[in-house]
Amino acid sequence: MKIERKIDEQFLEQLVNTPGLSGYEQKVQRLFRKKIRPFVQNLETDVMGNVFATLNPSGSPKIMLAAHCDETGMMVKYISKEGFIYFHSIGLDAHLIPGSRVQILTKNGPILGIVGKKAIHLQDSDERSNIIPIKDQYIDIGARSRAESENLGIKIGDPILFDYYYSQLGANGDVTGRCFDDRIGVLIIYEILKRLAQDPPKAQVVGVSTTQEEVGLRGATTAAYKVEPDISLVYDVDFSMDSPDSDEKGHGIAKLGEGPIISIGPMDHKVVDLLIETAADLKIPIQRIAEPRNSGTDGDVIQITKSGVAIGVIGIPCRNMHSYSEIVNLNDVEAIIKLSVEFIKRIEPNFKNLP
């Protein structure tokens, strides 16, 4: 898919490289507030840390755009007498972690660590074929005692993130980074509001960078209660099924660079139909994925807020989800932004969201 890109890639790089474990999203949200402020009339933050950026506050109906800013990672749970750091995992696969570089984010600043891994020469046959349980994995920071680790400022509860950062990948618009899930969605909301600010729609648009999605959709739960939207578009990564180890029969056909993924299922059919119709008019290819139950996104709680919300879930194809090297395609991102801007412009004040 060829498309002219207008994305602020410098901002995207900043978003992806800024730390923001679930519950520790403050730096990401400060960055989002700073960038979005010139393009909206109202800017608020709630007790959960959600950021609400409102365009055309007197417009109707009210459209909520949602994407979560938190990321997967780890948390310090125990320091051994030898100074090694043991951790809880938030959304990570156990086999992914050994041997990786991490940053422990203390109040004194980040501390580099390496997740320990026994040399293959020392492993017996069972160890070579088994995954090391997370409870047995540890981080080596070069300390020799618990006191030395504590004197560096490491405390129980400190967040831990992989020490990997944003990079371009190849020549087809692919990029890789630690947390496109779901900073790419936050970037999409920023771009939508920025472009709509040049020609405001009839609708009120509230872009929400939500928190704590990875630990139970918590931010979106309170955010939707506050906003009380009539319509919501939810942006999150979805599985790109075009790598050698993917099974299309298990999830469906979805590929990098082939356009937005539209979830089909118990969402609002009027919203979904209008998304599909708008994409066709813009000649933007879409990829349909069946979601017969929950989508696994913020949309699951937004839809059932108060008396109900008409939602559409738009997926960004992503390889290597919940790893330190996720991959998305910027052409897909640009297509989602253009589709969303046009969709919002087509929403009239008398839009009927009842089935």
Q: Where are the domains of the chain?
A: 9-71+179-346, 73-162
Q: What is the pLDDT of residues 17-43, one digit of tens each?
A: 999 999 999 999 999 999 999 999 999
288/252 Cα distance (integer angstroms):
8
* CB-CB contact of 74 with 113 (8 Å): no
**213 is annotated as an active-site residue:** yes
What pLDDT does 122 receive? 66
pLDDT by residue, tens only, the chain of 355 residues: 789 999 999 999 999 999 999 999 999 999 999 999 999 999 999 999 999 999 999 999 999 999 999 999 999 999 999 999 999 999 998 988 999 999 999 999 999 999 998 777 767 877 777 888 999 999 999 999 999 999 999 999 999 999 999 999 999 999 999 999 999 999 999 999 999 999 999 999 999 999 999 999 999 999 999 999 999 999 999 999 998 988 888 888 999 999 999 999 988 889 999 999 999 999 999 999 998 888 999 999 999 999 999 999 999 999 999 999 999 999 999 999 999 999 999 999 988 777 7
Q: Which residues of 110-123 are buried (b: 16+ CB within 10 A; e: fewer)?
A: ebebbbbeeeeeee
CATH no. of 73-162? 2.40.30.40
296/125 Cα distance (integer angstroms):
37
Domain 9-71+179-346 has CATH 1.10.275.10: no
Which entry of 25, 71, 213, 334 is annotated as an active-site residue? 213
Q: How many residues does the chain have?
A: 355
> Phi, psi (5° rounding) for residue 254?
-150, 130
Q: Would the pTM count as exceeding 0.85?
A: yes
What pLDDT does 266 receive? 87
Q: Is 136 strand, coil or helix?
A: helix
Residue 272, amino acid: V
* CB-CB contact of 260 with 287 (8 Å): yes
- Would you tell me how many other CB atoms lie within 10 Å of the CB of residue 248? 11
- Would you tell me how many other CB atoms lie within 10 Å of the CB of residue 305? 21
For strand 101-106 and strand 109-115, is the pairing parallel, antiparallel, or unpaired?
A: antiparallel
